[in-house]
A and B are shown apart, each in its own frame.
Chain A
Amino acid sequence: MEVLQLLVSGLANGCVYGLIALGFVLIYKATEAVNFAQGDFMMIGAFVSLGLTNAEYMNLPFWIAAPLTISIMAVFGYLLDLFVLRHLFGQNQTAVVILTIAMGFVLRFIAGIIWGHEPQTLESPLALGDLHIGGVVLGMADVAIIVVTFLMTWFLYQFFQRTKLGLAMQAASQNQMAAYFMGIPVKRVQGLIWGLSGATAAVAGILFASKGAIDPNAGLLGIKAFAAAVIGGFGSLPGALAGGLIVGVIEPFAARYFAAGYSQIAPYALLLAVLIFRPHGLFSQVRVKKV
């Protein structure tokens, strides 16, 4: 019974990691760049929703504020690509990595200036109460997180596999010059993917903020989401979710069964182990090409 409780509470956290990891993988699938600021995107999304919904700010109804947040973040992602990342078009990926790290710092600073450094909670209708199923306690917010995450993963997976735009994005990430020649507007596609990633981060942010308090450093759990994305395999959307769930579930188990201090290192130790022994993750997308 305790095992089940640990499992279930780890699942919700895992879904948040998974959502952030989805954002990473989206951008990676389409541009082969890694957005180290994805966690901070989530944090900004959370604060934007907070700023729109909470009584002391704009006090809009939640069901208006939420879609508004998602739209704002989508536009934010697109504009970020338009004004900042396009300049790096054609440069090597390390530059993008360093740029996104720096972006994370700047975003954290701006969030602190606008909303302050005190932890705040979103006044969300999702945090209604607790569900009791057979001895296991689950917060409503957690249920919402799990449901939304699975839905989004399914939706995004279908998007990439079935739609024309999704295929175009995959093409642009595999060979930019060839994609250009096939008439794919590579730069615009890139902008769209950043927008999509921003929207995903917004969803993660809204859910996360419903569950607990946030402050500008909340984005730092992006590092654990990283671990999730790597464990799942960087090119795979379902893999990102799986990775997130694994990391999310390991944490409470490690905290319960290992000595204090050791539980904290569990996700990172797992990450290193995966990198060393199966570097392309559990759902690897790397194939060997004939030279």
Chain B
Amino acid sequence: MRIHFKTSYQHDIRLFPDRWTLCVYGALLALAFALPYLIGEFYLGEVTNVLIWAIAGLGLMLLTGQTGQASLGHAAFLAIGCYANTILIEQGVPFIIAFPLAGIITGFVGLLIAIPVLRLHGIYLAIATIALSVLADDIIVLTEHWSGGVSGKFPEMINIFGFEIERWSMPSRFYYLVLVVTIACTLFYRNLLRSPLGRAFAAVRDSEVSATAMGVHIARTKGKAFGLSCMITGWAGALMGYYAGTFNNETFSLVISITLLMMIVIGGLGSIHGAFFGAIVVAFLPQALSILKDNVIGSGVAIPGLETGVFGLILILFILFEPMGIYGRWLKIRTWFELFPFARKDMFRRQKSYLKTERLR
């Protein structure tokens, strides 16, 4: 059992609560940097995919897990980030400027969209975001001159001051790029969590009324949450474009939006770990399923909808039996070990809440 002896407030403010946690994450980071030397190209590509989904997950987590605004339309922001980045580079803007700018543009669009949507709660917000995702799909097709419509676009090779990065021929370089962006986004998220703004997000999630009484401007805070969330998601979208090699309106469909939301629920809503765990599931599920299918049925048969079907089933199982997600289960296991043999049976029991109508507010 680890006991934290705190001698200053900095213990709670800094990133890692103690030496042990610092070492664990340090080792993880070292492993991450050493990865290209340890595994083959194919698996490196898979890990890169996981990281990209994790970044997208962090973006959505900030909005949904931290601020409580469920969004079923985040694929739209993946799309905006991706197209913005590619179009900027096509216009001659160097990658080192275009990439951050694409994120900022996406964040800005998110902010604009947030304004009319701010007053919506619960299902109305979810429905509005669904409409958004479908509209984004159609708008990409409509603005064919800029977006390439259904035929899509092909992002060029990344060029940072002469240093070239190409997804297929230089996978380790691409991996490092993605890794750096992942670390940056994770740090941003962590920093927000331990600062007044992060707490304001949580306040908006849990009780808008008392948050207002404490001086939190709900509309502005939600706007910031949308903006930051969309910025991070935009970066993920840009990276997704490079990873896929080509993209069109179908790359960022409603199904992707829904997958993203389901992913962070499976991973564990409200935690950074959740985004990563969920990303691992989403990225590796297709492989795992095809291996399973090949062994059981034979590789000739194609089962359409298998991935989404199984994914849906996994989600249902999690919501029913482990609503805190993978990270939640991990926490419970860890606490059981830490407190052994004093772990109490119902330590993580959920509080039951009885439904009270939203129609009379």
Does A223 sit at the interface, judged by CB under 8 A?
A: yes
Give Cα distance in the complex from A97 to B64, angstroms. 14
- Residue pair A91, B323 in contact (C-beta under 8 Å): yes
**Residues of chain A with a CB closer than 8 A to B169's CB:** none
Give Cα distance in the complex from A109 to B289, angstroms. 14
Does A276 sit at the interface, judged by CB under 8 A?
A: yes
- Residue pair B138, A101 in contact (C-beta under 8 Å): no
Give Cα distance in the complex from A225 to B15, angstroms. 47
- Residue pair A271, B316 in contact (C-beta under 8 Å): no
Q: How far is the CB of A260 from chain B (nearest CB, A)?
A: 9
Give Cα distance in the complex from A175 to B132, angstroms. 32
**Residues of chain B with a CB closer than 8 A to A32's CB:** 355, 357-359
Does A98 sit at the interface, judged by CB under 8 A?
A: yes
Give Cα distance in the complex from A276 to B358, angstroms. 18
Q: Which of A94, A108, A174, A262 is close to B360, meaning CB atoms less than 8 Å apart? A: A174
A interface residue count range (under 10 / 10 to 19 / 20 to 34 / 35 or more): 35 or more
> In the complex, what residue of chain B is closest to A112 when comparing beta carbons?
B305
- Residue pair B320, A98 in contact (C-beta under 8 Å): no
Give Cα distance in the complex from A34 to B323, angstroms. 18
Give Cα distance in the complex from A262 to B45, angstroms. 38
- Residue pair A93, B123 in contact (C-beta under 8 Å): yes
Contact with B along A193-234 (1 / 0, CB 8 A): 000000000000000000000001000000100110010001
Does B258 sit at the interface, judged by CB under 8 A?
A: yes
**Residues of chain B with a CB closer than 8 A to A235's CB:** 359
Residues 112-169 of B contacting A (Cβ, < 8 Å): 116-117, 119-120, 122-124, 126-128, 130-132, 134-135, 138-139, 141-142
Does A114 sit at the interface, judged by CB under 8 A?
A: no
- Residue pair B355, A176 in contact (C-beta under 8 Å): yes
**Residues of chain B with a CB closer than 8 A to A84's CB:** 316, 320
Give Cα distance in the complex from A175 to B360, angstroms. 11
Q: Which of A95, A227, A262, A269 is close to B319, meaning CB atoms less than 8 Å apart? A: A95
- Residue pair B265, A272 in contact (C-beta under 8 Å): no
Contacts A91-B323, A264-B138, A272-B132 hold; do A109 and B356 have CB atoms under 8 A apart? Answer: no
- Residue pair B123, A98 in contact (C-beta under 8 Å): no
Q: How far is the CB of A4 from chain B (nearest CB, A)?
A: 28
Residues 227-285 of A contacting B (Cβ, < 8 Å): 227, 230, 234-235, 261-262, 264-265, 268-269, 271-272, 275-276, 279, 285
Q: How far is the CB of A101 from chain B (nearest CB, A)?
A: 6
Q: Which of A103, A173, A261, A275 is close to B127, meaning CB atoms less than 8 Å apart? A: A275
Q: How far is the CB of A248 from chain B (nearest CB, A)?
A: 17
- Residue pair A109, B361 in contact (C-beta under 8 Å): no
Does B354 sit at the interface, judged by CB under 8 A?
A: yes
Query: Could you list 14 further interchain pairs (A-B, Cβ under 8 angstroms) beyond the known A94-B122, A102-B262, A105-B312?
Result: A101-B262, A104-B312, A106-B313, A109-B310, A174-B356, A174-B357, A177-B354, A216-B305, A262-B142, A271-B131, A275-B120, A275-B124, A286-B361, A287-B360
Query: What are 9 inter-chain pairs, A to B, with CB distance below 8 A?
Result: A99-B320, A102-B315, A176-B355, A226-B130, A227-B131, A230-B124, A269-B135, A275-B117, A279-B124
